[in-house]
């Protein structure tokens, strides 16, 4: 399998985010707000993909297996890359998405899912949705959007999956300088 980049893409259109819950032209979906970083990572603008292929059902996978790198509460991209490397089919499917010219989608982390639940619950179908945040070798965090409930469930169960994007705040401030000015090699 090809090595997956954890480097997010820059904003290429619409450099001012809309109000939470509104479609962000050129960014692949609806803006839901800002999620803080974790372990020294910067905060990010969070977008929930709206294309039909960005929403599907599947098992988190890797039941009974600890997936190193997939326990981040705020870093969905990092978790999703770790899941895919461990063989998770839902993670591989989300990472392969290309929407609005972007191919940097991930499964939302626990915090990203909570942010989406608070600011745009109407975007999600009824039922629980997987997050990319693993709690143990047998369980991962799920989020319900009808009533805002959340809990941990067995990774072998089937739930909805929804693709998210994270755009670093500073990418919007330095867009005029070009993508090379925004990211250095190995940035997450």
| Model pLDDT, residue 183 | 47
Rounded to two decimals, the pTM is 0.84
Query: What is the rounded average pLDDT of the residues 61-68?
Result: 95
| Model pLDDT, residue 180 | 52
pLDDT at 27 over 60: yes
pLDDT at 61 over 70: yes
Where exactly are the structural domains of the chain?
Answer: 23-178
How does pLDDT run across 83-130, given as a tens digit for each residue? 999 999 999 999 999 999 999 999 999 999 999 999 999 999 999 999
pLDDT > 90: percent of the chain: 76
Q: Give me the chain's average pLDDT, please.
A: 87
Q: How far is Cα 70 from Cα 54, in angstroms, rounded to an integer? A: 20
């Amino acid at each position: 399998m090809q090595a997956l980049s954890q480097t997010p893409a820059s904003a290429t259109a619409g450099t001012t985010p809309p109000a939470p819950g509104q479609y962000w032209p050129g960014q692949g979906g609806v803006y839901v707000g800002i999620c803080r970083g974790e372990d020294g990572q910067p905060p990010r603008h969070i977008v929930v993909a709206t294309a039909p292929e960005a929403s599907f059902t599947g098992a988190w996978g890797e039941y009974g297996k600890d997936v190193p790198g997939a326990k981040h509460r705020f870093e969905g991209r990092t978790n999703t890359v770790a899941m895919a490397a461990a063989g998770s089919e839902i993670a591989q499917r989300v990472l392969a998405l290309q929407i609005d010219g972007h191919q940097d989608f991930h499964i939302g982390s626990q915090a990203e899912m909570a942010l989406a639940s608070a600011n745009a619950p109407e975007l999600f179908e009824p039922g629980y949705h997987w997050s990319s945040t693993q709690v143990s070798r047998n369980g991962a965090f799920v989020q319900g959007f009808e009533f805002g409930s959340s809990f941990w469930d067995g990774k072998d169960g089937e739930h909805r999956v929804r693709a998210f994007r994270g755009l670093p705040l500073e990418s919007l401030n330095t867009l005029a300088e070009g993508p090379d000015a925004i990211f250095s090699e190995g940035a997450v």
